[in-house]
Amino acid sequence: MSETTHHRICPLCEACCGLEIKVRDQKVISIRGHDADVLSGGYICPKAVALKDLQEDPDRLRTPRIKRNGVHVEASWEEAFAEIEKRLPAVLATQGRNAVGVVVGNPSAHKIGLLTYLGKLARTLGSKNVFSASTLDQMPKQLASGLMFGHWLSTALPDITRTDLLLVIGANPMVSNGSMWTVPDFRGKAKALQARGGQLIVIDPRRTETAAIADAHHFIRPGADVFLLAAMVHTLFAESLVTLGRVAPWVNGVQDVQQAVTPFTPEAVSARCGVAAATIRALARQIAATPRAAVYARIGTCTQTYGTLASWLVDVLNTLTDHLDLEGGMLFAKAAAFASNTVGKPGIGKGVSTGRHHARVSGAPEVYGELPITCLAEEIDTPGEGQIRALITVATNPVLSSPNGPRLAQALESLDFMVSLDIYLNETTRHADVILPGPSPLEDLHYDVAFPQLSWRNHVRYSPAVLPRPEGQPEEWQTLLKLAAIIQGLGAQADANTLDDTLFTEDAQRLLGPPTQAVMAATQGLRGPLRALEVALRSGPYGDQFGLNPGGLTLQKVMDASPGGGIDLGELQPRIPEMLRTPSGKVELAPPLLLQDLERTKQDIRGLTPDLVIIGRRDVCSNNSWMHNLPTLAKGPFRCTVLVHPDDAARHGLSDGALATLHNGPRRVQAQVQLCTDMMPGVVSLPHGWGHNLPGAQLHVAAERPGANLNALLDDQLRDPLSGNAVLSGVAIRLERA
Ligand SMILES: Nc1nc2c(c(=O)[nH]1)N[C@H]1C(S)=C(S)[C@@H](COP(=O)(O)OP(=O)(O)OC[C@H]3O[C@@H](n4cnc5c(=O)[nH]c(N)nc54)[C@H](O)[C@@H]3O)O[C@H]1N2
Ligand SMILES: Nc1nc2c(c(=O)[nH]1)N[C@H]1C(S)=C(S)[C@@H](COP(=O)(O)OP(=O)(O)OC[C@H]3O[C@@H](n4cnc5c(=O)[nH]c(N)nc54)[C@H](O)[C@@H]3O)O[C@H]1N2
Ligand code: SF4
Ligand SMILES: [Mo]
């Protein structure tokens, strides 16, 4: 058979690079960057190449599994759904909706079928017990952005191609390729910034790969960003450096912020955050004095007890120095589809609220419809009314990715029923009674629902499937609808397509009013996420408005342009006030919830710093917990080592290569020491997502070098009280020779 060339957006991380994939006889023969791609221009990282390994991995599930007498056996789709129908409704009938929990993981964010249909499953189920990886990650950033700008995904993004100063706090885009910021080829863009005379500055407890190319790097005590940032804001006021510029008429609360940061003088916070007072002042002055500057912070500033406060203060800093919504500063993307800040009345909205319900055991507030994932284990293993007795997991591996994995594993084993949508039999899905695999990424079509809302440049792209879906393999949205049908009592025989038609008509009536002839005609013959995409694109900010705006975008237009690299929609542009969705129609610089929480930090300004704390790290050849089974990425030096500064190693009698035991109360893990002068003294680093030595998983390559599970050491009781985000960084540990 002849060779064919396909263009596919990479679904593995937020950079969303365009790939060029060559196929012969239904086998992938090469994967490279797509040079014409309007977003990524040919850039890729090593993970993309591993899509071939993923396609061919004998451990990847191609048929459902049912657990019989403790062993997962292959089953037909009919058998799998019949088993679910036999067992799931029974839990609902006897113990109610909240007895069934849902957990959603990271890969869902990269799958239009999951992202557009998970809400339908959750609505049908009606359980309060919905959890996701967001509370291991970016929930603080989303809450802060929501409170300030009125919507959870209205995130201010560095205008990297026009800025002259980029301050990066708690992020390592050289390795992670960016997060809450879709920025393929960060290195190229950073180098260009430096070439035009600009500066890159990094604040991180480790001299990271990003710090290595930066013009300056400052260590910070893990978890103490709020103190550094509050003191920088304090400096702006103290030295009369505050300017709001163009956005001034749309900013509320400047004086409240000024008052709130009064105690945070650089001298007061310096010991707590480990940054010299002079450095704090110099950083604040430099940002204020640079007309085109941007402050970007990510997961290091989120996975801590003050995560929402730190995320908020970053945008306070951007706003008070006249860098918000400004070219070369921080801008908001305008996505072609699905963006809430392009829907409804421009400039005003309902804003966001939290705490519409609370977790049964801890009382933690709901945020964005979710409860903290660190509450999951206790919601399963604590008896009482509303206890979770059945669980649906979707593309998630919380036994490795969530703190206190061993407790969660035990809890999962005690459930009456568990069903997992997942492509592997791994540390989490080994507990499932039924596993329902999705198609591989290359067998699935792709459109990014979330990331164009976070992209460095406006654009639109679509990818059809590269390889045919195997006979009988449903699309993941169909699997979700089948689950919804079973929950609704329609039975395992219900037809997903018919259900989809009914739901679409209902949604269209609810969202668009009585569906006009034009909408129904335009979506004829479409189903599932593609139908939702057609409606979103055509009614979106660049859309053809179903004929009212001839020449505007349609799905067909986007499909036609995609082999050529997609459609470039231009550089980000200022969008305030039009993008705001706060009830006031203003940027809320001083949300009461945040000012109130700042009181907590005031008590902690002179808090003691533990002798030794742990942070995580990422590696270019690893992706959270699930790509260690792919030979291309698994080869090479072992990556799950604990980085220790030589001074700390000497104090603990450890040498390079020694096996160390890391203790946190009763929890412990063992890892090999790697001496590293790039670590801040008093801080050690171990990557997360490892620990592939648990019985019952089927990951042959990963099991050869299982590594230590960082999350077996961390605490499931430590959270940011506002966002519910887990504390994964700056946790005190003890280190000794094993
Ligand atoms: N200590 C510590 N812990 C962390 C972090 C940290 O920095 N430190 N980072 C956190 C972050 S940011 C995140 S996002 C989470 C991620 O944590 P999770 O959301 O649990 O994601 P992964 O660990 O990547 O596991 C992904 C799961 O999805 C499955 N999967 C992959 N592709 C597909 C697919 O196409 N369909 C389906 N149905 N399943 C699929 C995989 O087999 C795997 O089971 O980890 C968090 N955990
Ligand atoms: N290769 C690869 N790429 C990935 C992933 C992966 O696992 N591997 N995961 C993807 C996912 S799910 C996400 S969410 C993104 C995350 O993307 P990033 O946010 O860039 O994540 P990290 O690379 O973990 O960088 C976080 C940095 O914060 C630092 N840090 C830790 N604690 C603190 C602190 O208290 N304060 C400050 N200032 N810094 C601190 C760490 O040393 C680290 O350098 O990466 C994505 N990309
Ligand atoms: S950086 Fe790598 S993993 Fe991320 S989208 Fe690009 S090619 Fe894929
Ligand atoms: Mo993440």
Residues lying with their CB under 5 A of ligand 4, a single-atom ion: 137
Say what the pLDDT of residue 369 is: 96
pLDDT value at residue 515:
62
Angle at 658 between CA 653 and CA 660, to 5 degrees: 75
The CATH superfamily assigned to 139-344+575-602 is: Dimethylsulfoxide Reductase, domain 2 (3.40.228.10)
DSSP string, 267-319: HHHHHHHT--HHHHHHHHHHHHH-SSEEEEE-HHHHSSTTHHHHHHHHHHHHH
> Does residue 513 register a pLDDT over 70?
no
**Helix, strand, coil percentages for the chain (3-state, nearest 5):** 35, 20, 45
Which pLDDT does position 508 carry in this prediction?
77
Q: What is the pLDDT of residues 421-442, one digit of tens each?
A: 999 999 999 999 999 999 999 9
Classify domain 613-737 by CATH number: 2.40.40.20
The CB of 140 under 6 Å from ligand 2? The reply is no
Report the candidate in 308, 47, 270 with the shortest Cα–Cα distance to residue 152: 308
Query: Which amino acid makes up residue 408?
Result: L
- pLDDT tens digits, 56-95: 999 999 999 999 999 999 999 999 999 999 999 999 999 9
The whole-number pLDDT of residue 116 equals 95
- 730 CB within 6 A, ligand 1: no
Are the C-beta atoms of 62 and 23 separated by less than 8 Å? no
Task: Give per-residue pLDDT as tens, 588-598.
Answer: 999 999 999 99
397 CB near ligand 1 (under 6 Å): yes
Q: Do domains 139-344+575-602 and 613-737 have the same CATH topology?
A: no
Percent of the chain having pLDDT more than 70?
99
Q: Is the pLDDT of residue 514 over 80?
A: no
What are the structural domain ranges in the chain?
A: 139-344+575-602, 613-737
- Separation CA 71–CA 551 (nearest Å): 57
Cβ neighbours of residue 623 closer than 8 Å, sequence gap 6 or more: 12, 13, 47, 633, 689
Query: Could you tell me if the CB of 265 is within 6 A of ligand 1?
Result: no
Query: Ligand 4 center to residue 106 CA distance, Å?
Result: 6
What is the rounded average pLDDT of the residues 605-614?
Answer: 92
pLDDT at 453 over 90: yes
Residue 122: pLDDT band (50, 70, 90) is: very high
Average pLDDT, the chain: 96
How many angstroms separate the alpha carbon of residue 184 from the centre of ligand 3? 7
Does pLDDT of 722 surpass 70? yes
Q: Atom 2 (ligand 3): residue with closest C-alpha?
A: 45
Distance 176 CA to ligand 4 centre (A): 10
- The residue-averaged pLDDT of 226-238 equals 98
pLDDT higher than threshold 90 for residue 115: yes
One-letter identity of residue 562: S
Pairing of strands 642-644, 667-675: parallel
Q: How far is the CA of 173 from the centre of ligand 3 (A)?
A: 11
